[in-house]
Structure formats: structure tokens, C-alpha cells
Amino acid sequence: MKKGQLEVFNLYKLIQDQTDYTNFIVSEVNDHSLRIAVINGEFHWHKHEDCDELFYVLEGELFIDLENNETVSLKPGEIFTIPANTMHRTRSNERTVNLCFERTSNDING
């Protein structure tokens, strides 16, 4: 059975006391994963060659820097999709929580 199937999770409880960077799979659906991340600072520049990546912000404000010098700002309830093979990095100025939808086989380290 895939992770998350026939299980109830409260996303806020999974990360309620988390202040340091974390990023982990909560559940899997078909060949995709739902990840939850807590960030307070910067993640390194990277790209995913074969996988689009969708971000959904739950708490705080997430900045996504793109290779064309554009920065996207996401607040709670907002989503943004990064196409495959696009260089990017995420960062925040405060504790920020986001969900990420991507192919399970995707390597988050680029």
C-alpha cells in the first residue's frame, strides 16, 4: 500500500513544532507525491528535468526565484506551478509552510 492511503493526516499537526527546514512525503497518489515543507531561509538553486512542480502555501509567504530574474510571491491559499527543467529556488523571510505536488520519482535536490 502506498504511503497515505487509508490514513487520515492533519497536515498542521505534522509540522506544528517544526522550525528548521524540513521537506517530506505525506502521501502518494498514482505516480505523484504530496510533500509538506517548512522553510525559514533559502533552499539552493535547482531544477527538475522531467517533472513539473506545484507549490501551495498554507502559512507565511513563499518566494520562488526563477532563472529569468523573476520572483514570485505566494501567500496562503495561492498556488504556482514551475515547468520541468526550470532553474529555481524557494526562500522565505519567516517560517513558511507549503505543499508541493510532484512525481514521486523526482529528486528534490535537483
Three cell numbers written together for 105: 520519482
Buried b (16+ CB within 10 A) or exposed e, 69-101: eeeeebeeeeeeebeeebebbbbbeeebbbbbb
The CATH code of the domain at 11-103 is: 2.60.120.10
CA dihedral 71, 16, 1, 28 (to 10 degrees): -10
* pLDDT tens per residue, range 88-110: 999 999 999 999 999 988 655 44
Alpha-carbon gap, residue 89 to 42, rounded angstroms: 7
The answer to whether 29 and 6 have CB atoms below 8 angstroms apart is no
pLDDT tens-digit readout, 26-57: 999 999 999 999 999 999 999 998 899 999 99
Domain ranges of the chain: 11-103
